[in-house]
Amino acid sequence: MKSAILTVGTELLFGQISNSNSVYLSQQLNNLGIDVLYHYTVGDNPKRLTKMICKAFADCDLVITTGGLGPTQDDLTKESAAKVFNDELIIHQDILNELESYSKRMNVTMTDNNRKQAYLPSRAFRFDNESGTAPGFSLEENGKTIICLPGPPREMTQMFEQEVKPYLLKKTDDVIYYKLIRTFGIGESMLETELKQWIDVQTDPTLATYAKEGEAYLRIASKRSTLEEAKSAVDDMIQNINQKIGQYIYSYDGEDLFEVVAKKLIEKNISISSAESCTGGLFGKTLTDVSGISAVYNRGFITYSNQAKMEELGVKAETLEKFGAVSEETAVEMTEGLKRVSGSRLCISVTGISGPEGGTEEKPVGLVYICASLDDKRVCKEFRIRNISRSWNRNYTLLCMLDMVNRLIDQN
């Protein structure tokens, strides 16, 4: 199946937001074995939008749109799609009822704008919106299918995952099976070099490497007539790959490192506390992104000032004076203090220079010390992170922390 992604929204043409919907949908469609031939973006202009939908169908069977389904006047995707598919908008009483009960529940007055969301093309197959009010839908005619999804990424991805994916799966013949391997500590070039012998001769399964924010991904995909065949081809390849780069792999299922770590902590019932300086709460925030973490996450300290390091964690004034706040000695005292105060089995602390200011020749931006202990075992490491930006440096520091925790748990 050949497809095009059509994102609608003047804000995209102003460059006010990045087009994350096209990225997400491209990945998803490719994973389903559906070729993506084009991306189109058009503003909130019904004439251009209608023309664009027609154009997109010139050499594609499937067009997925995002945006323009909302309640305001410039939301006109439904009208345009109906026009191209020779249909008209009618009010859907069930949607109207839901909108009304929603307004009642939220104690807000329903405006005419809101009511507009109850209109869909008469032949539309509806996709529910779990996290918003605008439903999505599909329309089919003469072997052509349009799928219209809401613009807000959260609503769109949830709708795609829960409703559109099963709908599309019914339309394809071959089965695609893939694994997304995630690694930390090896760059994309090195990953590619290590796996060259398979990448160079790949037909099926295919191997593709991606780099993202200090991590390297590896996608192994097989397209066969049965799931068993595809699965076995992918699993064989994973065995080969494991022998080469197994030590860098933390997930075979595309999970984030923080999810892997949180899951292990909960499963093994290891209590954890954190003390953060340069990351300012990022570690705590990330771990508590995971629901259920309250069973093991006890507390965190954001000891941003030296005063806080001394008062909350008992870091000695002499240590701060002699070695500085960004030093192995301070990191170790932070972790020891945290252990005393929290009583958690796993304690991790971090201190570093995130920049862009604050670096010196001796202690440049990107210098980070991480100290973690699990029961009686303690590790402290110095990192010299490539200084890209404050936000990148902090995110990479987070990954180093999670990686250290992950390895400590595995060695336990």
Q: In the window 193-232, what residues touch a copy of itself (CB under 8 A)?
A: 193, 199, 208-213, 217, 219
The answer for 325, left when phi > 0, alpha when psi is -120 to 50, beta otherwise, is: alpha
Q: Give 121 or 214: the residue with its C-beta nearer to a copy of itself.
A: 214
Segment 352 to 381, residues that bind a copy of itself, using CB under 8 A: 354-357
Candidate residues 8, 41, 65, 372; the one interacting with a copy of itself per rule CB under 8 A = 41
Segment 237 to 256, residues that bind a copy of itself, using CB under 8 A: none
Q: Candidates 17-25, 135-143, 162-170, 370-378 — which segment interacts with a copy of itself by CB under 8 A? A: 17-25
Candidate residues 223, 263, 299, 363; the one interacting with a copy of itself per rule CB under 8 A = 299
Q: Give 46 or 280: the residue with its C-beta nearer to a copy of itself.
A: 280
Measured between alpha carbons, how far is 135 from 156 in angstroms, rounded to an integer? 10
Segment 135 to 164, residues that bind a copy of itself, using CB under 8 A: 152, 154
Candidate residues 20, 86, 242, 360; the one interacting with a copy of itself per rule CB under 8 A = 20
Residue of 210, 152, 155, 189 whose CA lies nearest to 31? 210
Segment 263 to 292, residues that bind a copy of itself, using CB under 8 A: 274, 276, 279-285, 287-289, 291-292
- Asked whether 301 and 276 are in contact (CB, 8 A), the reply is yes
Beta strand segments in 168-248, E: 175-184, 206-212, 215-224
DSSP category for residue 254: -
Least distance CB 244 / a copy of itself (angstroms): 16
Residue of 292, 267, 286 whose CA lies nearest to 350? 286
Q: Give 12 or 367: the residue with its C-beta nearer to a copy of itself.
A: 12
Q: Which two tokens stand for residue 20?
A: 């994350």
Candidate residues 319, 330, 342, 406; the one interacting with a copy of itself per rule CB under 8 A = 342
Least distance CB 348 / a copy of itself (angstroms): 13
Letter for the amino acid at 69?
Answer: L
Segment 301 to 340, residues that bind a copy of itself, using CB under 8 A: 301-305, 307-308, 311-312
Told to check if 106 binds a copy of itself by CB under 8 A, we report yes
Measured between alpha carbons, how far is 200 from 203 in angstroms, rounded to an integer? 9
> From the centroid of its chain, how far is CA 190?
24
Q: 34 vs 61, 115, 219, CA distance in Å?
A: 10, 35, 16
DSSP category for residue 111: P
Measured between alpha carbons, how far is 32 from 407 in angstroms, rounded to an integer? 34
Segment 63 to 102, residues that bind a copy of itself, using CB under 8 A: 70-74
Candidate residues 61, 100, 192, 328; the one interacting with a copy of itself per rule CB under 8 A = 192
Told to check if 103 binds a copy of itself by CB under 8 A, we report no
Strand partners, 180: 219
Residue 109's contacts (CB-CB under 8 Å, 6 or more residues apart) are 103
Least distance CB 35 / a copy of itself (angstroms): 8
Strand partners, 210: 217
Told to check if 114 binds a copy of itself by CB under 8 A, we report yes
Q: Give 98 or 140: the residue with its C-beta nearer to a copy of itself.
A: 98
Q: Candidates 12-20, 88-96, 225-233, 375-383 — which segment interacts with a copy of itself by CB under 8 A? A: 12-20
Least distance CB 310 / a copy of itself (angstroms): 11
Q: Candidates 41-49, 260-268, 370-378, 402-410 — which segment interacts with a copy of itself by CB under 8 A? A: 41-49
Q: Candidates 37-45, 79-87, 369-377, 400-408 — which segment interacts with a copy of itself by CB under 8 A? A: 37-45
119: Cα within 13 Å, side-chain hemisphere? 19
Least distance CB 123 / a copy of itself (angstroms): 28
Least distance CB 282 / a copy of itself (angstroms): 4
Q: Edge to edge, what strands does the sheet with 175-184 contain?
A: 206-212, 215-224, 175-184, 249-251
Measured between alpha carbons, how far is 397 from 350 in angstroms, rounded to an integer? 8
- How many residues bind a copy of itself (CB under 8 A)? The answer is 101
Residue 288's contacts (CB-CB under 8 Å, 6 or more residues apart) are 294, 297
Q: Give 276 or 411: the residue with its C-beta nearer to a copy of itself.
A: 276
- Asked whether 32 and 169 are in contact (CB, 8 A), the reply is yes
- Asked whether 156 and 227 are in contact (CB, 8 A), the reply is no
